[in-house]
C-alpha cells in the first residue's frame, strides 16, 4: 500500500510504478479476460499484479518527483522500458503497479505519427493537436499563425500531412506543444528528428519554457541529456539502476553499454545475408588485433587496432577484393575498410592461401559495442560474406559524444593573440553566408 501524496508542489509524482507485458498474446488475453469479468460484474479490483506465464515487468518499481523548472532525463539501452514508462506518464497506458500523479496540464511527444490525421492538412492538425491538449478552437485560432511561423511550414501548411517528411511532422508537433506550453512536457527522442538548426531552435524554446514547466526527457544523445537535464535515471531491464547527476549517470550508462551485448535482431537485419561458396573460398579464419598484435578482449578508445584474415582460394579471381564494413549498435554502416580503397590490386591464384592484415592507427569510434562483417568478392561477385564477431570499444576516461572519437586537445589563453590580431571569420560573416543560402 502506498502512502498518500502530499499536495506540496511537485508537478509529477511517481511511486513504485510497474507495468506488466507478456511475450505471448494468450497470456495478455488471459489477464484481460479476468479483468473484463471483474469489470462486467463489478466484482473485485485488479489488486496486486502477479506474474504468470510469459509475463514480465517491462517497468518495475520506478519512483521520482518532478518539480516545476526541473528536467529529468531517462536513458537506457533499447528495450529497457523507457518508452513504456513515458506512455504511462502520458496517460496512454495504465500501470499495473504504483501510481502517477500529475498536477496541471501535460503533453507528450512520444510518437510523431500518433494523433495526427494524415489526410488532414497541417493547419487542421494544429487544431486537432491543440484540441487534444484542451484548447478551444477560438483559443487555437488566436495562436495558429504563431505556431505556423515557429514551425517554418508556411508553404506546406495547407498540404495534407501525409505529404510531410518526418522532420516536418516533428516541427509541426513541437510547435503546437511549444505554443500551448503545458506544465509537464514528456519528450521521447523526437527532437533528434529534423535539421540541426531547427533542433537548436527547439532546444532553445524548451530552455525558455523551463521556468514554467517540468520535463521528462528521453534521448540517446548523451550530449543533449547532459546539457539539458538536472537529474538522469538510467533504466535497465525495466528498473532504474542509477539515478543522479547527469555526468555520473552518463558514465554509468556507458559502462552498462559496454558490458551488454547488442540486441542482435536490430543490427543483424542491416548486415547482408551470409554467402558461402566452397567452390571459390574455403578455410576462412580471422582474428582481431590490438596494438601488440594479439587478440584483445576489447579495444581501448584511441589505441591502434587491426584485423588478420586468412582463406584458401579455390579458383583464380580476376579482381580479388576484401572488404570489412563496420556497423554501430543500430546497424548503421560507420566505415568500410576495403583492400581496393587505394586502388591496390590483390594478385592470387587458385590453391593459394591468402593472408591479409589490416592495421588502423587509432580506434576513432566512441565507446560501445560494434559489429563487423567481411566480404570477399571477385569484382562485384560475392565469393564469401560473413558476420565477424562483435567488438567492444572501452572508454579511456574522457567523455565522448556522437559516433567518432576524434583525437583532439584544446588549448586556451585569456589574453592571447586573438586580441591583437583579428581572426579570419566573424559571426556576422557566418550569418550573412546562411542568409545567402
Partner 1 sequence: MKIDRSERIDERHSAVRTYVPDARFSATSYEAIRALFKEVWGYRSHVANMFSSDFRSSYRGTMFGIFWNFALPLVPLTVYIFLVNLRVFPRHDGLAPAIFIGFNVTIWSLMTGMITRPIQVLKSRNKESMKTSLPISVSIAASFGQLCFDTLVRLGLLVLMMIYFAQWPHLNIFGFAGALLVGMVFSLSLGLILAVFNVIIPDTSRVVTILLQYGIFMSGVIFPLTSLGGLVVLEKINPFAAVIKSSRDFLFTGRHSDSIVLLIWGGIAFILFMIAMRFFYVMERRIRGID
Contacts to partner 1 by CB under 8 A:
4-7, 25, 28-29, 32-33, 35-36, 38-40, 42, 45-47, 49, 87-88, 90-106, 108, 110-111, 113-115, 117, 119-120, 124, 127-128, 131-132, 134, 137
Which among 233, 218, 173, 224 has a CA at the least distance from the CA of 203?
Answer: 224
Phi, psi torsion values for 8, nearest 5 degrees = -75, 100
22/289 with CB nearer partner 1: 22
Strands (E), 245-367: 275-276, 281-290, 299-300, 305-313, 320-327, 333-338, 353-360
Which among 364, 369, 370, 362 has a CA at the least distance from the CA of 303?
Answer: 362
184/249 with CB nearer partner 1: 184
Strands (E), 31-88: 55-66, 71-76
187/256 with CB nearer partner 1: 187
CB of 146 to partner 1, least distance (A): 19
3/436 with CB nearer partner 1: 3
User: Distance (Å, rounded) from C-alpha 232 to C-alpha 235?
Assistant: 10
CB of 15 to partner 1, least distance (A): 10
The full length of the chain comes to 437
104/416 with CB nearer partner 1: 104
CB of 67 to partner 1, least distance (A): 15
CB of 229 to partner 1, least distance (A): 23
User: Distance (Å, rounded) from C-alpha 192 to C-alpha 167?
Assistant: 9
CB of 68 to partner 1, least distance (A): 14
144/324 with CB nearer partner 1: 144
User: Distance (Å, rounded) from C-alpha 393 to C-alpha 369?
Assistant: 6
Task: Judge contact between 225 and 246, C-beta under 8 A.
Answer: yes
Task: Judge contact between 370 and 324, C-beta under 8 A.
Answer: no
6/381 with CB nearer partner 1: 6
CB of 40 to partner 1, least distance (A): 5
Tell me the H-state helices in 231-277: 246-258, 264-268
User: Distance (Å, rounded) from C-alpha 355 to C-alpha 346?
Assistant: 11
CB of 250 to partner 1, least distance (A): 28
Amino acid at each position: 500500500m502506498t502512502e498518500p501524496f502530499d499536495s506540496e508542489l511537485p508537478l509529477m509524482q511517481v511511486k513504485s510504478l510497474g507495468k506488466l507485458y507478456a511475450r505471448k498474446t494468450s497470456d495478455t488475453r488471459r489477464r484481460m479476460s479476468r479483468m473484463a469479468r471483474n469489470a462486467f460484474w463489478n466484482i473485485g479490483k485488479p489488486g496486486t499484479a502477479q506474474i504468470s506465464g510469459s509475463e514480465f515487468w517491462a517497468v518495475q518499481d520506478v519512483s521520482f518527483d518532478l518539480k516545476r523548472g526541473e528536467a529529468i532525463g531517462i536513458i537506457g539501452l533499447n528495450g529497457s522500458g523507457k518508452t513504456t514508462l513515458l506512455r504511462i506518464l502520458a496517460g496512454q497506458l495504465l500501470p499495473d503497479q504504483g501510481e502517477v500523479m500529475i498536477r496541471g496540464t501535460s503533453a507528450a511527444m512520444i510518437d510523431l505519427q500518433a494523433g495526427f490525421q494524415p489526410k488532414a492538412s497541417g493547419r487542421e492538425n494544429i487544431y486537432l493537436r491543440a484540441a487534444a491538449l484542451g484548447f478551444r478552437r477560438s483559443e487555437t485560432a488566436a495562436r495558429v499563425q504563431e505556431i505556423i511561423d515557429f514551425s517554418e511550414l508556411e508553404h506546406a501548411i495547407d498540404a495534407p500531412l501525409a505529404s510531410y517528411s518526418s522532420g516536418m511532422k516533428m516541427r509541426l508537433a513541437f510547435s503546437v506543444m511549444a505554443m500551448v506550453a503545458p506544465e509537464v512536457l514528456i519528450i521521447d527522442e523526437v527532437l533528434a528528428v529534423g535539421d540541426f538548426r531547427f533542433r537548436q531552435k527547439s532546444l532553445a524554446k524548451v530552455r525558455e519554457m523551463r521556468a514554467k514547466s517540468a520535463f521528462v526527457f528521453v534521448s540517446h544523445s548523451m550530449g543533449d541529456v547532459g546539457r539539458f537535464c538536472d537529474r538522469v535515471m538510467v533504466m535497465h531491464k525495466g528498473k532504474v539502476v542509477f539515478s543522479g547527476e547527469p555526468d555520473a549517470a552518463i558514465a554509468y550508462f556507458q559502462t552498462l553499454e559496454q558490458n551488454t551485448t547488442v540486441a542482435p535482431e536490430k543490427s543483424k537485419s542491416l548486415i547482408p545475408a551470409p554467402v558461402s561458396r566452397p567452390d571459390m573460398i574455403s578455410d576462412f579464419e580471422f582474428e582481431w588485433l590490438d596494438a601488440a598484435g594479439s587478440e584483445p578482449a576489447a579495444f581501448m578508445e584511441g589505441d591502434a587496432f587491426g584485423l588478420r584474415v586468412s582463406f584458401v582460394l579455390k579458383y583464380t579471381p580476376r579482381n580479388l577484393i576484401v572488404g570489412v564494413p563496420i556497423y554501430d549498435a543500430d546497424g548503421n554502416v560507420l566505415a568500410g575498410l576495403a583492400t581496393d580503397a587505394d586502388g591496390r590490386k590483390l594478385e592470387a591464384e587458385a590453391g593459394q592461401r591468402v593472408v591479409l592484415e589490416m592495421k588502423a592507427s587509432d580506434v576513432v569510434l566512441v565507446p560501445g559495442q560494434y559489429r563487423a562483417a567481411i566480404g570477399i568478392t571477385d569484382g562485384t561477385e560475392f565469393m564469401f560474406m560473413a558476420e565477424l564477431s562483435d567488438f567492444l570499444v572501452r572508454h579511456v576516461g574522457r567523455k565522448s559524444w556522437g559516433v567518432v572519437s576524434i583525437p583532439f586537445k584544446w588549448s586556451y589563453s585569456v589574453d592571447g593573440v586573438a586580441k591583437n590580431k583579428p581572426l579570419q571569420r566573424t559571426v556576422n560573416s557566418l550569418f550573412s553566408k546562411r542568409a545567402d543560402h
